[in-house]
Amino acid sequence: MDKLVVRGNSSLTGPLTVGGSKNTALPLMAATLLAEGPSTITNVPDLRDVRTFSKVIRYGGPSVTFDPDAHTLSVDATTLQTPVAPYEMVKKMRASFYMLGALLGRCGQAKVSLPGGCAWGPRPVDLHIKGMKAFGADIELDEGYVHASTPPSGLEGGTFRLDPVSVGATINLLLAAVTAQGSSKIENAATEPDVVAFGRALQDMGAQIDGLGTRTLEIQGVDALNTGTFRNTPDRIELGTFILMAATASPPGTPVQIHKGTHEHLGPVFKERLSETGVDVSYGDDTVTVTRPDELRPVSIETAPFPGFATDLQAQWTVLLGTTDGTATVTDTIYDDRFKHVPELQRLGMEIDVTGNTATVHGGPSLKGAKVMSTDLRASVSLVMAGMLANGRTDVLRVYHLDRGYEDLEQKLHHAGITIHREEYDEFAEPDLERIE
């Protein structure tokens, strides 16, 4: 297993460069299955999740080729024969559940494993299933699998309201609806930039979708989609993470540049809260410039669906609050229990109380490096961020969580001035008690 070793108190001076979006690349990969023939996606990040989803797709018969240096991924779905996504793969990555909509749309049938729980609690897929039923799919659950099929002439289409609004269900229902016989409507649809970019790619393939970026999507089914070449969007959560790293770990008054992000995808609330902390941020076409003030003000946040504050940035915000001289809260309204990073941040010296879905952060205490355990993707990057601020050495263990969503993070941070490297370790090795410090 790998860990990241971070030396604290080194300064982030930049520049940093944002890669392609994980959460857009995955649905784009699913979309390629709707067309017979080869499609290509550019700006695809070299991430564990991309490799996992490539395996899920290959299992059904299509070929997937990925050039990680060129960040280009091609799928030829001509040879799709087995409309199945097995548990062994889906359990590794919930987004594999996008195979349900893609396989139904392309093959008229699908057998897809239910994903099960996730690191921070239940994450149901009931809306995906109810929505497919509302569009005319016949669905049964058996032995942990969803068995789905359409009538012989394809899905009829229908209307379905998402409550709560769901990124994944919006994507899955779009995948199923674009080749339905009739028209479909998704009410209370997600408006996350990842969903909009994915919907635009479907339109480029010939899908008829109205309302992208609004809460109501109307889809008129077409017989088949065309292949194509699509450019993936920049990763908005990586951009937000880098901004928060610069806001906390750069020398005050020294601007840090972050290239190749799309700042509009951060949403207005994140920008407003950030500016309330006193960080000076200028948003250019291709570059965001962050200048840290001498002191940050504590500002509370509450996560919400886009255009609200992204839940995928709340763990990083928690670390930022620790550097302020006051108290503020982080409330997650999307996930009730997404605070697995808190006990690890406490090991580094942060003072945080969690009650219900709110973490109260008492800023001020200086942090001291320690060994800490990653529990999920965004939790792990918050630990790296805290390690950058701590005195001494922090070992962030089980960094495979981080590798799901941040490409070459340690290289990027190293080039930006942070002392950080990756090491292999054996988590199950008997501890050498003589050498434990």
Closer to ligand EPZ by Cβ: residue 123 or 200: 123
Which string of x and - marks every residue 335-374 that binds ligand EPZ (by CB under 6 A)? x---------------------------------------
> CB nearest ligand EPZ: which residue?
168
Residue 135 CB, nearest approach to ligand EPZ (Å): 15
Helix, strand, or coil (residue 358) = strand
Asked if the peptide bond before residue 307 counts as cis, ω within 30 degrees of 0, the response is yes
Binding ligand EPZ (rule: CB under 6 A), the pick from 159, 181, 311, 357 is 311
Q: Do residues 181 and 110 touch, judged by C-beta distance below 8 A? A: no
Q: Output 185 or 378, the one with its CB closest to ligand EPZ.
A: 378
- Among the listed residues 1, 70, 118, 141, the single catalytic one is 118
Q: What sign for the dihedral angle of Cα 372, 376, 382, 384? A: positive
Q: How many CA atoms lie within 13 A of 214 on its CB side?
A: 7
User: What's the closest the beta carbon of residue 54 comes to ligand EPZ, in angstroms?
Assistant: 15
**Is 68 strand, coil or helix?**
coil
When the beta carbons of 325 and 337 are compared against ligand EPZ, the nearer one is: 337
Segment lying near ligand EPZ (by CB under 6 A), choices 50-58, 104-112, 126-134, 173-181: 126-134
Identify the residue among 168, 193, 363, 369 touching ligand EPZ (CB under 6 A).
168
Beta carbon of residue 163, minimum distance to ligand EPZ (angstroms, whole number): 8
Q: Which residues contact 201 (CB under 8 A, 6 or more apart)?
A: 28, 31, 228, 230
Binding region for ligand EPZ (CB under 6 A) out of 9-17, 121-129, 274-282, 429-437: 121-129
**Looking only at Cα atoms, what is the longest distance across the chain?**
70
Taking the complex as a whole, the smallest distance from the CB of residue 141 to ligand EPZ amounts, in Å, to 14
Label residue 153 exposed, middle or buried (CB < 10 Å: 0-12, 13-18, 19+). Answer: exposed
The verdict on whether 107 is a catalytic residue reads: no
Q: How far is the CB of 26 from ligand EPZ (least distance, A)?
A: 6
Q: Number of residues interacting with ligand EPZ: please give it, by CB under 6 A.
A: 23
E strand or H helix at 57: helix 48-59
| Binder among 85, 197, 246, 334 for ligand EPZ (CB under 6 A) | 334
Nearer to ligand EPZ, 105 or 405 (CB): 405
CB proximity list for 257: less than 8 A, separation 6 or greater: 14, 15, 16, 287, 288, 289
Segment near ligand EPZ (CB under 6 A); pick from 145-153, 163-171, 245-253, 354-362: 163-171
- Is 126 an interacting residue with respect to ligand EPZ (CB under 6 A)? yes
Q: Which is nearer to ligand EPZ, 182 or 213 (CB)?
A: 213
DSSP 328: E
Of residues 125 and 178, the one with the C-beta less far from ligand EPZ: 125
107: enclosing H helix or E strand: helix 99-107
For residue 149, give the H/E element and its range. strand 145-149
The interface with ligand EPZ within residues 55-94 (CB under 6 A) comprises 94
Q: Which span (35-43, 117-125, 292-300, 347-355) binds ligand EPZ, by CB under 6 A?
A: 117-125
Q: Using the CB atoms, write b or e for 86-95: b if 16+ within 10 Å.
A: bbebbebbbb
Site string for ligand EPZ, 401-430 (x = CB under 6 A): ----x-------------------------
C-alpha distances in angstroms, 243 versus 257, 290, 351?
9, 7, 23
Q: Which of residues 6-45 bind ligand EPZ (CB under 6 A)?
A: 23, 26
Query: Could you tell me where the beta strands, DSSP code E, fall in 236-326?
Result: 256-259, 280-283, 287-291, 301-302
Choose, by CB under 6 A, the member of 247, 377, 416, 418 that binds ligand EPZ: 377
The DSSP string of 169-189 is HHHHHHHHHTT-SSEEEEES-
Binding residues for ligand EPZ, rule: CB under 6 A, are 23, 26, 94-95, 123-128, 164, 166-169, 194, 311-312, 334-335, 377-378, 405
Active site residues: 118
